[in-house]
Amino acid sequence: MANTVESEKLTINIGAVDLGHIDLLVEQGFYSTRSDFIRTAIRNQISCHSGELKRLSSDMTIVGLARFDRAELEKIRDGGARLSVKLIGMLIIDEDVSTELAGQAFESVKVYGILRAPAGVRALIASGLGGGGRP
């Protein structure tokens, strides 16, 4: 994947008073938009927990972006291996990957962030990849 920044759209519910405070800060120029305020607040909270996040993420196999296509997963499967993936960031499994192949190539998958995969593969991962052993 090229150097594109991927983001995920979130929807939140916020009380009228909190929203009013945000709007006042935006109007006064402290933040350019509501989204700018929310992104800054999120980054500040992540920074507050940086020590804990470092400890927790040390157990991750990938921090960032990982992408798997059909050919790569077929090589893994055909080599008799199965992948265990723990990831903070984004996991992309290409559209040409079948649910059967994903079940054969992955032992386990845990994503903290964004998962982009065919619907059947997403469902298989959500179910814990049960029954996906070698044929």
pLDDT band at 117 (very low <50, low <70, confident <90, very high): very high
Q: What is the pLDDT of residue 53?
A: 84
Q: Does pLDDT of 112 surpass 70?
A: yes
Residue pLDDT, tens place only, 15-61: 999 999 999 999 999 999 999 999 999 999 999 999 888 887 776 77
Q: Does pLDDT of 3 surpass 70?
A: no
Q: Is residue 6 part of a domain?
A: no
Residue whose token pair is 């814990």 = 128
Q: Is residue 79 part of a domain?
A: yes
Q: Is residue 131 part of a domain?
A: no
- The answer to whether residues 114 and 62 belong to one domain is yes
Chain Cα centroid distance, residue 23: 30
Check: pTM over 0.75? Answer yes or no: no
Contact 101, 70 (CB under 8 A): yes
State how many domains the chain has.
2
What is the average pLDDT value for the chain, to the nearest integer?
88
